Amino acid sequence: MRIGYDGKRAVQNFTGLGNYSRYVVQSLSAFAPENEYWLYAPAYRENQQLSSMVAESRGAVSVHYPSCWLWKRMASLWRVGGIRGTLKRDNIQLFHGLSNELPLTIHKVREVKSVVTIHDLIFLRLSHCFSLVDRLIYNYKCRYACKHADHIIAVSECTKRDIIHYYGIPADKISVIYQGCNPLYACRAGEDKRHEVKRRYLLPDRYILSVGTIEERKNALTIVQAMEHLPDELHLVLVGRPTAYIHRLKEFMVKAGLRGRVHFLHGIPSSDLPAIYQCAETFVYPSVYEGFGIPILEALQSGIPVVAATGSCLEEAGGEHSLYVNPHDVKGLAAAIVRTQEPSVHATMIEEGLKWARRFTQEQMARETLECYRKVLTKEI
């Protein structure tokens, strides 16, 4: 098969959707190198992760940009519409939109089948977190993709339910295919690496950890508030890109006298993150809403207990032996964190969490995705 992908985020993004895009293509090329995987991106950007992936694929993966001078000048328009001619010219059999959208009018290209991955419909679930313009754009693109794709991949059962609820898509048009996480998290950092990372980032001796953009939806303020109910020697480390929301956290920290117990990190290289996870005592993820929750898998693979929020899909990521609380229950969150410190509970959560995380493998994701492609091309779905 020659499969095309919307490669914009694989090229330009270094977290989130970029990680997912690279993970999918890297996994497929590793387990099915006989196929050709063509990534289409509107503009070049230096990206060592992508370059390494392309090199390791030994020709299975290639990256393509607009070749016509006109489309180079109008790269964004090429991505949403002009790419149609490119796909026909390149004899692409199936095009996979990796991030909630497909090129407009792709349904008119009869020679090319299409699949789209829908990560979440948070812009509908938590509309107050988005501007009106963003909501309209995201909703238009996502609705179009769901309507016109030959098949939809949802990253969780929660997302599948949202697609059915908001867009009226038949359930049999949607397959749930879970993503795994980078195998680096399953590798235990040595004592020297842990010491180096703690020294470099000035990490405290004892800390709980949360990873993700510091924004309202991720709900880090609840963790900060819970720190008032936890032992003074236990600190909080928040890893993620800051937004204006961070000021709310800092204001509370000042009032509560917590400035010395909360630490912010961002721009951490992927090679250091596993050690930061593995030095933590508990991973805390009280996000109000998620499409899946990859940081939870990263924590489980790293061998630390997880406390997460109810209300979306996080139970799917964390399994039955992680702990879950209402995302706004400060005292409940603190109590759950304390419970993970109990030796017998701690040991059980680590053991069962590692078992659960083994369900989410690259091979499983690749196998299910390739089977989806095959069924679309043979019109079985």
What per-residue confidence (pLDDT) applies to 77? 85
> Is residue 156 pLDDT above 90, yes or no?
yes
> Is residue 103 pLDDT above 90, yes or no?
yes
Confidence of residue 279 (pLDDT cuts 50, 70, 90): very high
Confidence of residue 78 (pLDDT cuts 50, 70, 90): confident
Superfamily of domain 2-180+361-377: Glycogen Phosphorylase B; (3.40.50.2000)
Residue 119 half-sphere exposure, CB side, CA atoms within 13 Å? 19
Same fold? 2-180+361-377, 184-357? yes
- Cβ(372)–Cβ(117) under 8 Å? no
Q: For residue 64, give every residue at least 6 positions away whose Cβ sits within 8 Å of its Cβ, in sequence order, or none.
A: 7, 38, 39, 40, 41, 86, 90
- Torsions phi, psi of 379, nearest 5? 60, 35
Rounded Cα distance between 334 and 212, Å, is 19
pTM of the model: 0.92
Structure tokens at 57: 């694929």
From the options 3.20.20.70, 3.40.50.2000, 3.40.50.720, 2.40.240.20, give the CATH code of 184-357: 3.40.50.2000
SS3 call for 16: helix
Confidence of residue 182 (pLDDT cuts 50, 70, 90): confident
Work out the average pLDDT over 139-145.
96
SS3 call for 41: coil
Domain ranges in the chain are 2-180+361-377, 184-357
Average pLDDT, the chain: 94
Confidence of residue 76 (pLDDT cuts 50, 70, 90): confident
